[in-house]
Amino acid sequence: MPPADTDSSPILSIRAVGKAYGEHQVRALHDVSLVIERGEFVSLMGASGCGKSTLLNVIAGLDSASSGEILFDGKDVTKLSDEQVTELRAKKIGFIFQFFNLLSTFTVAENVALPLDLAGAISPSERQQRVVEILTKVGMAERLKFYPAQLSGGEMQRVAIARALVHKPELIVADEPTGNLDSENGKNVLALLKELNKTLKQTIVMATHSEEAGAVGDRIIRMKDGLVVSDSKN
Protein backbone atom coordinates (compact mmCIF):
# COMPACT_ATOMS: atom_id res chain seq x y z
CA MET A 1 0.00 0.00 0.00
CA PRO A 2 1.41 3.46 -0.85
CA PRO A 3 2.10 5.90 1.99
CA ALA A 4 -0.91 8.00 2.98
CA ASP A 5 0.42 11.25 1.53
CA THR A 6 0.68 9.85 -1.99
CA ASP A 7 -2.51 7.82 -1.74
CA SER A 8 -5.20 9.35 -3.94
CA SER A 9 -8.03 7.08 -2.75
CA PRO A 10 -10.65 8.75 -0.52
CA ILE A 11 -9.98 8.63 3.22
CA LEU A 12 -13.70 8.03 3.86
CA SER A 13 -16.46 6.54 1.75
CA ILE A 14 -19.78 6.60 3.54
CA ARG A 15 -22.33 4.46 1.75
CA ALA A 16 -26.04 4.55 2.55
CA VAL A 17 -25.43 4.87 6.28
CA GLY A 18 -28.54 4.77 8.45
CA LYS A 19 -28.88 5.05 12.21
CA ALA A 20 -31.96 4.37 14.30
CA TYR A 21 -31.92 4.88 18.06
CA GLY A 22 -33.70 2.96 20.78
CA GLU A 23 -36.97 1.09 21.02
CA HIS A 24 -38.83 3.87 19.20
CA GLN A 25 -36.33 3.56 16.37
CA VAL A 26 -35.85 7.32 16.05
CA ARG A 27 -34.11 7.64 12.70
CA ALA A 28 -31.17 10.00 13.16
CA LEU A 29 -29.60 9.19 9.76
CA HIS A 30 -31.33 8.15 6.54
CA ASP A 31 -29.02 6.50 4.02
CA VAL A 32 -26.29 9.13 4.06
CA SER A 33 -23.69 8.73 1.31
CA LEU A 34 -20.55 10.87 1.11
CA VAL A 35 -17.01 10.62 -0.13
CA ILE A 36 -14.35 12.58 1.73
CA GLU A 37 -10.96 13.02 0.10
CA ARG A 38 -7.63 13.16 1.92
CA GLY A 39 -6.74 16.64 3.09
CA GLU A 40 -10.24 18.07 2.85
CA PHE A 41 -11.60 20.40 5.55
CA VAL A 42 -15.32 19.64 5.61
CA SER A 43 -17.86 21.64 7.62
CA LEU A 44 -20.98 19.71 8.56
CA MET A 45 -23.87 22.06 9.19
CA GLY A 46 -27.56 21.99 9.99
CA ALA A 47 -30.10 22.65 12.71
CA SER A 48 -30.04 21.02 16.13
CA GLY A 49 -31.15 17.38 15.92
CA CYS A 50 -30.42 16.98 12.18
CA GLY A 51 -27.88 14.20 12.82
CA LYS A 52 -24.46 15.88 12.80
CA SER A 53 -23.14 14.30 16.01
CA THR A 54 -24.61 10.94 15.06
CA LEU A 55 -22.78 11.01 11.75
CA LEU A 56 -19.48 12.05 13.37
CA ASN A 57 -19.84 9.36 16.02
CA VAL A 58 -20.41 6.58 13.51
CA ILE A 59 -17.56 7.86 11.32
CA ALA A 60 -15.20 7.76 14.32
CA GLY A 61 -16.48 4.39 15.54
CA LEU A 62 -17.81 5.85 18.81
CA ASP A 63 -21.24 4.55 17.85
CA SER A 64 -22.31 1.88 15.38
CA ALA A 65 -24.35 2.43 12.22
CA SER A 66 -27.66 0.55 11.87
CA SER A 67 -27.12 0.03 8.14
CA GLY A 68 -24.70 0.88 5.34
CA GLU A 69 -20.91 0.87 5.04
CA ILE A 70 -18.19 3.23 6.19
CA LEU A 71 -14.90 2.67 4.42
CA PHE A 72 -11.95 4.25 6.22
CA ASP A 73 -8.76 3.89 4.17
CA GLY A 74 -10.72 1.36 2.12
CA LYS A 75 -11.65 -0.85 5.10
CA ASP A 76 -15.27 -1.21 6.20
CA VAL A 77 -15.34 -0.02 9.82
CA THR A 78 -18.83 -1.41 10.34
CA LYS A 79 -17.42 -4.93 9.94
CA LEU A 80 -14.60 -4.53 12.45
CA SER A 81 -14.69 -5.92 15.98
CA ASP A 82 -14.83 -3.48 18.91
CA GLU A 83 -11.15 -4.09 19.49
CA GLN A 84 -10.25 -3.36 15.88
CA VAL A 85 -12.31 -0.15 15.93
CA THR A 86 -10.57 0.96 19.11
CA GLU A 87 -7.20 0.30 17.50
CA LEU A 88 -8.16 2.19 14.33
CA ARG A 89 -9.30 5.14 16.40
CA ALA A 90 -6.19 5.08 18.54
CA LYS A 91 -3.92 5.14 15.50
CA LYS A 92 -5.71 7.20 12.90
CA ILE A 93 -8.49 9.35 14.33
CA GLY A 94 -8.49 12.34 16.68
CA PHE A 95 -11.86 13.35 18.15
CA ILE A 96 -12.55 16.82 19.54
CA PHE A 97 -15.69 16.91 21.70
CA GLN A 98 -17.99 19.87 22.27
CA PHE A 99 -17.64 19.55 26.04
CA PHE A 100 -13.90 18.79 25.95
CA ASN A 101 -14.23 15.47 27.88
CA LEU A 102 -10.97 15.89 29.76
CA LEU A 103 -10.37 13.48 32.65
CA SER A 104 -10.61 15.57 35.79
CA THR A 105 -8.18 13.53 37.89
CA PHE A 106 -5.51 13.60 35.18
CA THR A 107 -3.19 16.57 34.64
CA VAL A 108 -2.99 18.41 31.33
CA ALA A 109 0.09 16.35 30.35
CA GLU A 110 -1.56 13.06 31.35
CA ASN A 111 -4.74 13.88 29.42
CA VAL A 112 -2.77 14.74 26.29
CA ALA A 113 -0.63 11.58 26.56
CA LEU A 114 -3.68 9.27 26.61
CA PRO A 115 -3.85 8.59 22.85
CA LEU A 116 -0.12 7.82 22.82
CA ASP A 117 -0.61 5.33 25.62
CA LEU A 118 -3.55 3.75 23.79
CA ALA A 119 -1.67 3.52 20.50
CA GLY A 120 1.03 1.44 22.21
CA ALA A 121 4.80 1.27 22.38
CA ILE A 122 6.47 4.63 22.80
CA SER A 123 9.48 5.49 24.96
CA PRO A 124 8.92 7.78 27.98
CA SER A 125 11.20 10.44 26.49
CA GLU A 126 9.44 10.44 23.13
CA ARG A 127 6.08 10.49 24.91
CA GLN A 128 7.11 13.55 26.92
CA GLN A 129 8.53 15.26 23.84
CA ARG A 130 5.35 14.73 21.82
CA VAL A 131 3.18 16.01 24.67
CA VAL A 132 5.27 19.16 25.12
CA GLU A 133 5.49 19.76 21.37
CA ILE A 134 1.73 19.64 20.81
CA LEU A 135 0.94 21.65 23.97
CA THR A 136 3.40 24.29 22.76
CA LYS A 137 1.53 24.44 19.47
CA VAL A 138 -1.74 25.20 21.24
CA GLY A 139 -0.06 27.63 23.66
CA MET A 140 -0.52 25.45 26.74
CA ALA A 141 3.01 24.22 27.49
CA GLU A 142 3.10 26.24 30.72
CA ARG A 143 0.15 24.28 32.09
CA LEU A 144 1.51 20.72 31.96
CA LYS A 145 0.85 19.99 35.63
CA PHE A 146 -2.49 21.77 35.95
CA TYR A 147 -5.75 19.88 36.35
CA PRO A 148 -8.72 20.63 34.04
CA ALA A 149 -10.66 22.36 36.86
CA GLN A 150 -7.84 24.91 37.06
CA LEU A 151 -8.27 25.95 33.42
CA SER A 152 -10.65 28.27 31.58
CA GLY A 153 -13.03 26.85 28.95
CA GLY A 154 -10.81 28.05 26.10
CA GLU A 155 -7.76 26.49 27.75
CA MET A 156 -9.61 23.19 28.27
CA GLN A 157 -10.56 23.11 24.62
CA ARG A 158 -6.95 23.77 23.59
CA VAL A 159 -5.83 20.85 25.77
CA ALA A 160 -8.59 18.68 24.28
CA ILE A 161 -7.38 19.64 20.81
CA ALA A 162 -3.80 18.78 21.76
CA ARG A 163 -5.05 15.39 22.96
CA ALA A 164 -6.88 14.82 19.66
CA LEU A 165 -3.74 15.65 17.68
CA VAL A 166 -0.84 14.22 19.70
CA HIS A 167 -0.77 10.91 17.81
CA LYS A 168 -0.83 12.73 14.44
CA PRO A 169 -4.11 11.24 13.25
CA GLU A 170 -4.97 11.14 9.55
CA LEU A 171 -8.51 12.23 10.35
CA ILE A 172 -9.62 14.88 12.85
CA VAL A 173 -13.30 14.73 13.77
CA ALA A 174 -14.53 17.81 15.63
CA ASP A 175 -18.04 18.10 17.09
CA GLU A 176 -18.84 21.79 17.64
CA PRO A 177 -15.26 22.53 18.75
CA THR A 178 -16.09 26.21 19.21
CA GLY A 179 -19.60 25.70 20.63
CA ASN A 180 -18.57 26.43 24.20
CA LEU A 181 -15.98 29.12 23.58
CA ASP A 182 -16.17 32.90 23.44
CA SER A 183 -15.65 34.42 20.03
CA GLU A 184 -11.93 35.10 20.44
CA ASN A 185 -11.11 31.59 21.66
CA GLY A 186 -13.38 30.20 18.97
CA LYS A 187 -11.46 32.07 16.29
CA ASN A 188 -8.14 30.81 17.66
CA VAL A 189 -9.36 27.20 17.58
CA LEU A 190 -10.58 27.56 13.99
CA ALA A 191 -7.29 29.17 12.94
CA LEU A 192 -5.38 26.29 14.51
CA LEU A 193 -7.50 23.66 12.75
CA LYS A 194 -7.06 25.48 9.44
CA GLU A 195 -3.30 25.64 9.94
CA LEU A 196 -3.07 21.92 10.72
CA ASN A 197 -5.17 21.12 7.70
CA LYS A 198 -2.91 23.25 5.47
CA THR A 199 0.49 22.33 6.87
CA LEU A 200 0.06 18.71 7.95
CA LYS A 201 -2.66 17.89 5.37
CA GLN A 202 -4.81 16.31 8.05
CA THR A 203 -8.38 15.67 6.93
CA ILE A 204 -10.93 17.46 9.11
CA VAL A 205 -14.66 16.88 9.46
CA MET A 206 -16.17 19.52 11.75
CA ALA A 207 -19.78 19.88 12.85
CA THR A 208 -20.93 23.39 13.65
CA HIS A 209 -24.05 25.52 14.01
CA SER A 210 -22.15 28.67 13.21
CA GLU A 211 -22.01 29.99 9.64
CA GLU A 212 -18.83 31.85 10.56
CA ALA A 213 -17.13 28.67 11.80
CA GLY A 214 -18.46 26.65 8.87
CA ALA A 215 -16.95 29.13 6.41
CA VAL A 216 -13.46 28.04 7.52
CA GLY A 217 -13.96 24.69 5.81
CA ASP A 218 -13.31 24.26 2.11
CA ARG A 219 -16.44 22.20 1.61
CA ILE A 220 -19.80 22.67 3.32
CA ILE A 221 -22.21 19.78 3.76
CA ARG A 222 -25.67 20.69 5.04
CA MET A 223 -27.97 18.20 6.72
CA LYS A 224 -31.66 18.23 7.55
CA ASP A 225 -33.65 15.51 9.33
CA GLY A 226 -30.94 12.90 8.93
CA LEU A 227 -30.33 13.61 5.25
CA VAL A 228 -27.62 15.48 3.35
CA VAL A 229 -29.44 18.32 1.59
CA SER A 230 -26.51 20.18 0.04
CA ASP A 231 -22.81 19.66 -0.55
CA SER A 232 -20.71 22.41 -2.07
CA LYS A 233 -17.16 23.76 -2.31
CA ASN A 234 -16.66 26.88 -0.28
Ligand X SMILES: Nc1ncnc2c1ncn2[C@@H]1O[C@H](COP(=O)(O)OP(=O)(O)OP(=O)(O)O)[C@@H](O)[C@H]1O
**Judged by CB, which is closer to ligand X: 112, or 164?**
164
**Judged by CB, which is closer to ligand X: 131, or 190?**
190
**Judged by CB, which is closer to ligand X: 54, or 203?**
54
In contact, 172 and 164? CB cutoff 8 Å: yes
- Residue 53 as a binder of Mg ion (CB under 5 A): the answer is yes
At closest approach, how far in Å is the CB of 18 from ligand X?
Answer: 12
**Judged by CB, which is closer to ligand X: 50, or 112?**
50
List interacting residues with ligand X (CB under 6 A).
21-22, 26, 28, 46, 48-54, 209
Q: Which of 90, 101, 100, 232 is nearest to 170 (CA)?
A: 90
In contact, 144 and 129? CB cutoff 8 Å: no
Gyration radius (Cα) of the chain, Å: 17
In contact, 135 and 128? CB cutoff 8 Å: no
d(CA 32, CA 83): 25
In contact, 225 and 210? CB cutoff 8 Å: no
At closest approach, how far in Å is the CB of 217 from ligand X?
Answer: 16
Stretch of 14-22, 45-53, 135-143, 158-166 lying at the interface with Mg ion (CB under 5 A) = 45-53
The residues binding Mg ion (CB under 5 A) are 52-53
